[in-house]
Amino acid sequence: MARQVAQAPIRAYSYQRFSSPSQANGDSLARQTALARAYAEQHGLRLDEELTYRDLGVSGFRGKNAAHGELACFLEAVRAGQIPEGSFLLIESLDRLSRDNILRAQAILTNLVVSGVNVVSLADNRLYSEESLSDDPLGLIYALLVFIRANEESATKSMRARQAWTRKREAVASKVLSTRLPEWLTLEDGRIVPIPERAELLKRIFTDAEKGQPPQLIAEALNEEQVPRWSINGPWERTTIAALINNRRVTGALPLYEFVYKRNVQNRLPIGVVGGYFPRIIEPEVFLQVWSICSNRRRGGSAAKRNVFANLLRCADCGADVRHRPIGEGGQQALVCAAASIAHRCDAPEHSYAALESAALAHLGPWSAEGISWVRNTDPGGWRNSRGAPYRLLGNAALSLHNDRLRSDIAQRFPDRIGEGPSLADYMTTHLGRRYLMNDCSTLVSAAATGLSTSRTRVNTNAALRRMFSHGTVDLRTGTCTLSCGSAGSIEIRSHT
């Protein structure tokens, strides 16, 4: 594009919107940010991340975001000439801009484009600019279609599911849908038949599960008896057994799914079940009984409710997951190497869970506490600590691990600002910085002060640890735990039993 020949890099702004506040916890923001960065890099644009227009938790439906949210600020800034002509507004898809009725939605788009803003929908890589729309007026029609669909999304979704279901049900009658059969079945003269010894094993697994045995114990028993795995080598794992007892194909049913793309994420949408498609190995009543036993167990708590280190620690000996066992050998809660407990592939011993939990809190609390009682500054989006000294943040021991990472982030994204002290502090006032610094540090501080008395505090502390540290290992022999911030460094915690 001719405009890009100009010396100063063309600016790009990112507009991100979630439909509900809870989405802020999920991947939505990360995904939208990544898409925007990739586009800016690919097209030589300078993504202005300080001015990211986010309407956190403001629904685009009924144009709330255009009227009141930050999109209104952006439109205002465009009208006031503060956004340079030729700038890019990067959005994940047009339904992020507005889910309002199409007249108002297209008015927002038109306003932006006529004001000289190039709007890019990243999901389908479409550019809406004055130039592109006069070259290809059908682009506007396309935009209208996207707006119409966004406005009628739920209706569209259920209708499409119904249509797909009809199509697939017709197809089932005439041909084998998928050549990939479940592992306990095979194709013989064009007919699907069970593999006898596998069918037997499947029945046994369900019998054990019906008696209340959890998948982990079933896997341990099979490994004890050296029963070979079906399609791959290696020991039976808890997850393999769990997948089998959740697989309704064992009853002969064929579940049908449609893959629906919603906001650029693929969702598997169940659209129905064809009964009697496969040979029946397990009676449906038995399957349902086992399924309800297992789902009750799942509801009993995600791992983090009991184990603040869930999904964080690996065994220093072998690298396998370290898991929590409610009643260990000594009758106390224990941390165990998954490879040691399931397959006896590792001989790391158990370690007291309580000892490591209290050692970690005692260490991390003071480590996080220094200088984090911050107050919101009058400067919009700015945070200062209570002493009004932004640079003191940089001295916080808890942040020092992040400093290197933040510095290299800044060097990449703001090459012209490297070497300036304030830019680091500025960066820390962004949403990402705040999230790391404020929430996670104070979560650790209060966990250290009050202990992890409820499953909720344990879950929150676990989430903070997993954001602050990329991974950790624990030597179960000595109880020495290393928590790592990737290339930025690591800290060591010793627990004595």
Binding site for Zn ion (CB under 5 A): 315, 317-318, 320, 337, 339, 346, 348
CB of 477 to Zn ion, least distance (A): 10
CB of 316 to Zn ion, least distance (A): 8
**417: Cα separation from own chain's centroid:** 31
CB of 243 to Zn ion, least distance (A): 23
Q: Which lies closer to Zn ion via its Cβ, residue 314 or residue 407?
A: 314
CB neighbour list of residue 440: distance below 8 Å, 6 or more residues apart:
368, 464, 467, 468
Among candidate residues 317, 319, 315, 323, the one with its CA nearest the CA of residue 220: 323
Q: Which lies closer to Zn ion via its Cβ, residue 339 or residue 485?
A: 339
Q: Which lies closer to Zn ion via its Cβ, residue 407 or residue 471?
A: 471
CB of 180 to Zn ion, least distance (A): 33
Q: Which residue has the tokens 């010396």?
A: 7
Q: Which residue has the tokens 């830019």?
A: 423
CB of 222 to Zn ion, least distance (A): 20
> What are the CB-based long-range contacts (under 8 Å, 24+) for 268-272?
269/157, 269/161, 271/161, 271/162, 271/164, 271/165, 271/168, 272/165, 272/168, 272/169
- 473 has which bridge partners? 314, 482
Q: What is the Cα–Cα distance from 73 to 93, expressed in whole angstroms? A: 20
CB of 462 to Zn ion, least distance (A): 21
Q: Which lies closer to Zn ion via its Cβ, residue 208 or residue 317?
A: 317
Q: Which lies closer to Zn ion via its Cβ, residue 90 or residue 346?
A: 346
Q: Which lies closer to Zn ion via its Cβ, residue 346 or residue 444?
A: 346
Q: What is the Cα–Cα distance from 216 to 326, expressed in whole angstroms? A: 14
Compute the 3-state secondary structure of the chain and give helix, strand, coil in percent, each to the nearest 5: 50, 15, 35
- 90 has which bridge partners? 14, 120
CB of 347 to Zn ion, least distance (A): 8
Q: Which lies closer to Zn ion via its Cβ, residue 96 or residue 238?
A: 238
